[in-house]
Each structure stands twice: as structure tokens, then as C-alpha cells.
Amino acid sequence: MGLTFFDDERLARDVYAAVSLSAGGEDAAAGISRLLAPIVAHDALCLRGTDPVLGTELCWFSFWHGYEPALALALLTHRIAGAGERRPVGTARTDSAVAVVGGRSHDREADRILAAHGAGSELWLRLADPRGTWGELRLLRASGGRRFGEDEARRAMRLAPALLAVLRRYGTSGPLCPAPDAPVLPAGVAVVGADHRVKAVSPQARAWIEHVVARSEPAVAAGASDAWFRALSLAARARHDAPGPLICMPPARCGRWFTAQAEPLGEDGAGDVAIILQGATGDTVTPSFCAWYGLTPREREIVGELRDGSPVKRIARRLGVSPYTVNDHLKAVFRKTGAEGRDELVAALYR
């Protein structure tokens, strides 16, 4: 079959319409699958979004269609554990995206997992640009069907610009600040053992789980919180020498910026893992905030100067530019973020 051509902008609009119809349920994922099936035939689909700044495998939203929950959980666990590799069958570059597609697995354990759940082959598309990786698309075919080949890999690579546009738009679709009637959720703590089983969860952490996690992993909804904590535990152990947030989630899904930080309690990463769930503000959220809204390095500097309420003239002196330049950058930030003024922007970042 030859290379399929389509309108990138129209596909992006149609896919975004599908993902915005629900909070991440099967209906939205089924809609995405219907749109992509004429381009690359598949039996199951997963579209995941990740933080381009943190660079972890953990997602802050996902849409699953057709994946058996047990298979989704097994693949998630295997991927985050960092075992095995998949060699790409092709790479595509455009001015706005870099996409890598894997259609032939050189990861025997992943192949074993697929076979054990009645799946034949999986094709994956990494969605990235020079600022980082924004997510991935995974397509699955059932056992006994034709395996994904290089022609389908090339067609899948053509999806990258449209899907990148969808992820960026969706990531900034939530409110800049929490709604006035949004519940106040203090930080919560959970402890996960060396076997990745949850040992203890505070009431505050349970409230965050109900608010966020159950809506973020519909493919494993029956045990969403356990699967999510397992993923955090695995990621924390893999990065035990680089502490910091593992997830910084934009408001699109839960109406506020949210972080999950997990750290092993032992020096070698082999003991329990403590996980802190909380709303994100200040230095924690600013890098991801600036990435999602496409702020330039100078605009990021301006945003960083706003926290102490400094007037424009003082910011200009600190940065060695004119007040007119500062105001021009502020106008650009307000336009990109939708903030009505500096008060709302400061409230979104630092309160």
C-alpha cells in the first residue's frame, strides 16, 4: 500500500474534537481510533501525553481503546522498569516534529507480554520536538493478523505534526487558575513497598487519587490507583539519584496544576518509596508552564520576575532592558496564556 496523504490541520482539529468530548474515557479513545484507522489499520490504540520538561515515561493523560487492562498494565510496568529496547524502523523529521516509529520489537520480554495477551505486534510513534517529548501513540494488532511493516511506519510518521498539535492544545485547554468553588486539597502522602504494593495512603492522598488518578488511566480503571502508584514507584527507583517531580500535570484534566514526587527512602533505591501528591506552584510548575504555553526564554525570565510583585521599571533594571520591552513581553505572555493581567498570571503560578 502506498503512502497515505491527508490534511494535517483537519486531522488535528478532528482528533482534538474527539479528545475534548470527555475526560479521557473510552468514547474519546474510540473516536481517535476511528480517525486514524484509515491511515494505519489497528485493533487497539493508546495516545499518551507526557511532560516535555521532566522527560519521564509517566503520563499525565492517556486515551486507551481496545487494550486489555492487564496488557496495558503489564506493558506500562515493563516500559517504566527500563528493561529491553525497541529498535526504530524509521525516523521522520519536520520543522516542528521528530517522530520515531518502532514496528519490529527487539525486546523479547515485550514480545512475550504481547503474545501472552493475544496480541501480535505493536507500533509506536514518539511525539517530540526540540523542546522535548510530548507523548506517544501506540497501535496494536491482534495475534494472527499481519504485523506492522515499514510502509505503515512511514504512514504513522505522517501523523506526528497533527498529534503534536493535539497534545499541545489539550495541555493548555484547562483553566489558568482553579475555579473559585474548587475543593482545597492539601498535600498527601503514600508509601509503596519494595514489591510496588501500596503500604499506606493518607486521607489527603486518597482525595488526590479520586480527583486525578481515576481519570488519568481509564485502561486500568479497576485498579487505577494501584497501577499509578506502581508506575511512580518504578520510576522513582530508576531515577533514585535524580530526585524531583516525576509528574507535573497541567490543569486540562483536573482543573489545577498537580505534581507527584516520589523518592526511595533507602540510598540504593531498594526500600520503600514515599510519594507526595500536591498542587503545583512556583519554581516547581514554572518550567512546565512555560513549555506548555510556548513561552520564549526572555518571556520565561519576565514570568520569573513577577513573583515578588516588582513593578515593570524594576524588572527592566534587573534584566537590563527597557520598560517598553518588558511590557511587550508581558503582552505576549498574556496572549499565549489567556491571562487577563499579571494578577491572574501570578495567581496561576505562585498561589
**β-bridge mates for residue 161, sequence order:** none
pLDDT value of residue 11 = 92
pLDDT value of residue 95 = 52
Distance between CA atoms of 52 and 129, rounded to whole angstroms?
9
Residue burial 314-345, b: 16+ Cβ < 10 Å; e: rest: ebbeebebeeebbeebbebbeebbebeebeeb
Phi, psi dihedrals of residue 201, rounded to the nearest 5°: -140, 125
Q: Please give the grid coordinates belonging to residue 153.
A: 511506519
Distance between CA atoms of 204 and 337, rounded to whole angstroms?
30
pLDDT in tens, the chain (351 residues): 445 567 888 999 999 998 876 545 678 889 999 999 999 999 999 998 888 887 666 776 788 898 888 888 788 777 776 644 555 555 555 555 555 555 445 567 888 888 888 888 888 888 888 888 888 899 999 988 888 888 888 888 889 999 999 998 988 888 888 777 777 788 999 999 988 888 999 999 888 887 776 555 544 444 556 777 888 888 888 776 666 667 888 887 777 888 888 888 877 767 899 999 888 878 888 888 999 999 999 999 999 888 778 899 999 999 999 999 999 999 999 999 999 998 888 888 876
Residue with cell 473510552: 26
Report residue 283 CA to chain centroid gap: 19
Q: Please give the grid coordinates belonging to residue 195.
A: 514489591
**β-bridge mates for residue 313, sequence order:** none
Of the candidates 162, 166, 147, 35, which has an alpha carbon nearest to the alpha carbon of residue 102? 147
Residue 294 CB-half CA count within 13 A = 14
Distance between CA atoms of 252 and 265, rounded to whole angstroms?
32
Q: How far is CA 69 from CA 11, 111, 210, in A?
A: 28, 17, 19
Residue 53 CB-half CA count within 13 A = 19
Residue 318 CB-half CA count within 13 A = 15
pLDDT value of residue 322 = 94
pLDDT value of residue 350 = 77
pLDDT value of residue 337 = 93
pLDDT value of residue 38 = 93
pLDDT value of residue 1 = 47
For the sheet with 273-279, list strands across it.
Answer: 198-201, 188-192, 273-279, 258-264, 245-249
